[in-house]
Structure 1
C-alpha cells in the first residue's frame, strides 16, 4: 500500500472510530457529517473520498461499535479466573460502563434503532448478539442447550439492566438496577 493509500486508510479509520463513538452516545440519527469531519480534523468536502453516503458511514460505524465489544467482553471474563461469568457480569454492570455510552456496549445503545433499521445493520447487530451468546455460553465449559439458554437470559439481563439504568432519573434506582441484576445473575450458577 502506497503512502497516500495508507494515509487515506488511516484517515478513514479515524473517521469511523469517531463515528462509532458518536452513534453509541447519540444514536444513529444525530451525528452529522460536518461535525464528524471537523472532529477528525478534516473538511466536509473530503467525506466522499472515504464513504459513499452518510448512511454508508453510519452503518459501518454501527458495525464497528458492535464489534468493539467482543474484546472487552473477553477481557472482562478473564479478570476472574475462578468465575469468568462473574467477571463479565461485574464489568458489564459496573457504573463505569453505564456512565460511558460512547465507549460502552453498542447492543444497549443501538438496539431500538437497529430494530427499525436497514437489513445490513440488523445483520451486524445479530452477528454481535450471536458472538456474545457463544462467548457467554462457553464460559462454563461445554456448550449445551441449557448453557445457550442461560446465555440468552444473561445477555438479555445485562443489556436490559444497563439500558434501564441509563434511562431512569433516580441515581439510586439506577445503581440498584445494576447491583441487583448482577447479584441475581451471579446466583444462577
Structure 2
C-alpha cells in the first residue's frame, strides 16, 4: 500500500514545486516590470532585483536565460498591463468613455507614479534603440491601444487617425510632464492636452 502512495506524493511535490517556481518567476517579472518603468533599463541590476524578490542571485538563471531575456519579458508584461487599466478607465465613464480614458491617463497620479504607469511613456526611447523583440512588444501595445481608442469613437469616420493623434498626445504629454522641473508647468501640460482632447 505504501508503495502505491509514494509516487502520488512525489507528483504532488513536483506539482507544488512547479507552481512555486511559476509564482516566483511571476514575482520577479512584476518587480522588474515596475523597475524598468521607474528607472533606466541600463540600471536594472540582477543582484538587486533578486534581493528585492527575496531570492539569491544564483537563482536567477532558473527562471531566465539572460538579463536581456528578463528585460524583454518584463517590458512585454509592463506594456500589456496598461491595456486593462485603459479599459477600466474608459468603462468608468459610461457617458463618455474616451474622456474617462483621457482623464485617467493625464492624471497627476499617473504622472507621479511611473512604476505603475503606462510603459509606452518610459520604454519608447529604449524600444527605438533596442532589438527586434522589444520593438515588437512595443508595437503590439501601440496597436492594441489604437484599436481600443478607435473603438470608443463610434461616430467618427476617421477613428483610426483620431486614435493615433490621441495616443501620441497622451504619451507625449505624460513624457514631458514628467521631464520638466516646474510642477506648475507640468500640470499645465497635462491640463491643456486633456482640455484639447476632450
- List alignment gaps of at least 5 residues for structure 2: 1-13
- Counterpart in 1 of 2:192? 180
Of the candidates 73, 76, 80, which is equivalent to residue 60 of structure 1?
73
| 1:163 correspondence with 2:170 | no
1:3-14 counterparts in 2 under 5 A?
Answer: 3-14=16-27
Preserved CA contact (<8 Å) 1:114 1:125:
yes
Q: Helix, strand or coil for the counterpart of 1:11?
A: helix
Deviation readout 1:116-161 (Å, 9 max, x if unpaired):
00100000000000000000000022784x1000000000000000
- Return the index of the structure with the highest Cα Rg: 2
Of the candidates 95, 112, 123, which is equivalent to residue 136 of structure 2?
123
Q: Distance in 2 between matches of 1:135 and 1:166?
A: 25
Quote the offset at 1:27 in angstroms.
2.5
- List alignment gaps of at least 5 residues for structure 1: none
Going by fraction, where is helix more abundant, 1 or 2?
2
| 1:89 correspondence with 2:97 | no
TM-score, scaled relative to structure 1: 0.96
Preserved CA contact (<8 Å) 1:23 1:62:
yes
Q: Distance in 1 between matches of 2:106 and 2:131?
A: 29
Displacement over 3 Å in runs of 4+ = none
Quote the offset at 1:30 in angstroms.
1.2
Of the candidates 5, 12, 19, which is equivalent to residue 32 of structure 2?
19
